[in-house]
Each structure stands twice: as structure tokens, then as C-alpha cells.
């Protein structure tokens, strides 16, 4: 077994050990920390606006969000998904968490999420 294969096996074992003790989000979800997917990867952090309302920090991160979604679902994700994520953020800020998650469903993301931690960690730096 080569060095690269051994490193990959060690990374996968460490990933599995860590994920076992966390929440897993198979689809986009909004939690107090932000927009999450998978093993708690935060795609857009939650911050307070000038009025003190909690909302997702999306503006200026659209390309990064789409890239991470495309990587996680192993297919190109439409820019339209961002529109629904922004609408979900607005509902969340008004306290309507149910409608926020309905908007995320309208983003029409694929149903199967790939567990590719090595790809995501490599792409993030």
C-alpha cells in the first residue's frame, strides 16, 4: 500500500470516527450556526443583521455555496438554488423556520448526498 493510499485510509477512519458523534444532515438544513449539509459543514454562517435579526450570510458567497453543493452532490447545481436559499434565510429571520425549510426543499437539490470527505477537505484548503 502506497503512502497516498495509507493516508486516505487514515483520513477515512478519522472521518468515520468523528461523524459518528455528530448530527448528520443529508439535505440542506438551517440551524443556529448557519446553513449546513453533511457532517455539519457550514455553507453559510448565521450572523445578526443591523436590526439584530439572525440571517444567513449568503451575499458574496453564492459561488462558494454552489461549488460546495456541486461537489457534495457530484453534479452541477443550478444558480436558482441560491434564490431559494436566500428566501429560506428571510423566512428564518422572521422566525418562520418551517417555511424556511420548505424554501430549501424548493431548491430541488438531488436526494442523494455523497460522502466524499476527502474531496471536500481538499477543496476547502
Q: What does the DSSP assignment read for the chain?
A: --HHHHHHHHHHHHHHHHHTTS--EEEEEEETTEEEEETTEEEEEEEE-TTS-EEE--TT-HHHHHHHHHHHHTS---THHHHHHHHHHHHHHTT-HHHHHHHHHHT---SPPP--HHHHHHHT-
The answer to whether the beta carbons of residues 82 and 109 sit under 8 Å apart is no
Check whether 55 has a pLDDT greater than 90.
no
The answer to whether the beta carbons of residues 41 and 22 sit under 8 Å apart is no
pTM beyond 0.85, yes or no: no
The answer to whether the beta carbons of residues 73 and 114 sit under 8 Å apart is yes
Q: What is the per-residue pLDDT across 67-90, written as a single tens digit (0 to 9) for each?
A: 989 988 888 999 999 999 999 999
Nearest to 120 by CA among 59, 56, 73, 61: 73
The CA distance from 85 to 105, in Å, is 9
Check whether 29 has a pLDDT greater than 50.
yes
Cell match 434565510: residue?
89
pLDDT bin (cut points 50, 70, 90) of residue 109 is confident
User: Which grid cell sits at 108?
Assistant: 430541488
Check whether 118 has a pLDDT greater than 50.
no
Cell match 425549510: residue?
101
Amino acid at each position: 500500500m502506497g503512502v497516498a493510499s495509507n493516508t486516505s485510509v487514515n483520513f477515512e477512519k478519522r472521518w468515520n470516527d468523528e461523524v459518528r458523534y455528530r448530527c448528520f444532515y443529508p439535505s440542506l438544513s438551517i440551524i443556529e450556526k448557519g446553513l449546513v449539509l453533511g457532517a455539519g459543514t457550514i455553507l453559510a454562517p448565521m450572523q445578526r443583521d443591523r436590526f439584530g435579526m439572525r440571517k444567513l450570510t449568503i451575499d458574496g458567497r453564492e459561488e462558494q455555496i454552489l461549488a460546495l453543493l456541486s461537489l457534495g452532490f457530484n453534479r452541477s447545481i443550478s444558480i436558482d438554488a441560491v434564490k431559494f436559499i436566500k428566501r429560506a434565510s428571510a423566512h428564518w429571520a422572521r422566525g418562520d423556520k418551517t417555511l424556511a425549510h420548505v424554501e430549501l426543499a424548493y431548491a430541488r437539490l438531488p436526494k442523494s448526498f455523497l460522502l466524499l470527505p476527502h474531496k471536500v477537505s481538499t477543496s476547502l484548503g
